[in-house]
Amino acid sequence: MASSSSQITLRVRPEALTDPEALRQAALRQAQRAGVAGPADDDVLRIVRRSWDARKRPVMAQVVVAWGEEASTEDPAWPEVSEDAPSVLIVGAGPAGLFAGLECLMQGLRPILIERGKDVRARRRDLARLNREHVVNPDSNYCFGEGGAGTYSDGKLYTRSKKRGDMKEALAWLVAHGADPDILVDAHPHIETNRLPQVVTAIRETIEARGGQVLFNTRLVDMESSEGRFVA
Ligand SMILES: Cc1cc2nc3c(=O)[nH]c(=O)nc-3n(C[C@H](O)[C@H](O)[C@H](O)COP(=O)(O)OP(=O)(O)OC[C@H]3O[C@@H](n4cnc5c(N)ncnc54)[C@H](O)[C@@H]3O)c2cc1C
């Protein structure tokens, strides 16, 4: 088991996760076994990573607990952008488009998202029709519409890629829009099928409330360029 003076990995029964004293005792025992300093009496333990081992009974939790100084975790706040801020046209309101919209706000740019499909709620009716009558709306289906492909899956967030920046920030942005904070520590986080559309809606509301625009039923059909710039 890996351990350090302010962080240690434990294997505990699930009940210990909601029992601070049991967790502390487990941390002290493990620290003693590893020959490192355990948490002091006034240290508050934080679970920073959690996974489950359900291969055999009893099911066990594997957690990394930390104590001591915590890295600052300020809630992300998206600034309002003025109408004359430079605007950025974003094609598609899938995960990439929605996050690009949030990032534009962070950079003081005004995002204008165009989405060929419908908003996430109206899209659900087209999915019901697809399943019931086998009629496919080419602009509003399992792949097209607000939230993009996978909006009606359970929203697995398994990637831990570090190649393109800090995943933690993306997860924090999802939490800021209603995802369960557990996704910040779970080894195999997912947003849940019922909650994912609400998170998508909340992201769109942030974009609109801060001066951006989201236009549905609006499809990019062509682009013209002039002097190295797209003009339409
Ligand atoms: C059934 C299913 C389940 C999935 N489950 C998961 C999962 O659990 N976890 C996970 O990480 N990934 C999952 N994925 C993959 C994930 O959905 C994709 O990686 C992700 O959606 C890609 O995001 P994107 O924004 O790049 O593209 P997309 O999600 O494809 O978004 C593109 C958006 O652009 C719009 N658009 C397309 N053309 C135009 C146009 N000409 N004009 C205007 N708008 C346009 C589309 O309507 C769409 O909303 C799943 C995919 C599917 C299909």
Q: What is the pLDDT of residues 28-47, one digit of tens each?
A: 999 999 999 999 999 999 99
Round to whole Å and give the CA distance between 123 and 109.
Answer: 28
Residue pointed to by tokens 């549905």:
216
Two tokens at 227?
């002097």
**pLDDT tier for residue 131 given thresholds of 50, 70 and 90:** very high
- Tell me: the pLDDT tens digits for 141-169? 999 999 999 999 888 887 767 777 778 88
- Domain layout of the chain by residue ranges: 3-66, 87-215
Q: Cα 73 to the chain's mean position, in Å?
A: 15
Q: Is 118 in the pocket of ligand 1 (CB under 6 A)?
A: no
Please, are residues 97 and 91 in contact by the beta-carbon 8 Å criterion? yes
Q: Is 39 in the pocket of ligand 1 (CB under 6 A)?
A: no
Question: Per-residue b/e over 221-231, b at no fewer than 16 CB within 10 Å?
Answer: eeeeeeeeeee
Round to whole Å and give the CA distance between 117 and 124.
Answer: 11
Q: Is the pLDDT of residue 106 over 90?
A: yes
Q: Is the pLDDT of residue 20 over 50?
A: yes
Ligand 1 nearest atom to the CA of residue 144, by list position:
47
Q: Which of 98, 144, 203 to mutate to test the pocket of ligand 1 (most atoms within 8 A of CB)?
A: 144
120-133 helix and 196-209 helix, angle to the nearest 10 degrees: 140
Averaged pLDDT, 170-189: 94
Q: Is the pLDDT of residue 208 over 50?
A: yes
Q: Is the pLDDT of residue 226 over 80?
A: yes
Q: Is the pLDDT of residue 231 over 90?
A: no
Q: Is 189 in the pocket of ligand 1 (CB under 6 A)?
A: no
- Tell me: the pLDDT tens digits for 73-88? 677 899 999 999 999 9
Q: Is the pLDDT of residue 180 over 50?
A: yes
Q: Running DSSP on this structure, what letter comes out for residue 123?
A: H
pLDDT at 230: 82
Please tell me which residue, 156 or 218, carries the higher pLDDT value: 218
Q: What is the ipTM of this complex?
A: 0.98
Q: Which fold has domain 87-215?
A: FAD/NAD(P)-binding domain (3.50.50)
Q: Indicate the helix (H) or strand (E) that contains 47.
A: strand 46-53
Query: Which neighbouring-strand residues pair with 140?
Result: 137
Q: Which residue puts its alpha carbon closest to atom 18 of ligand 1?
A: 149
pLDDT, the chain, mean: 92
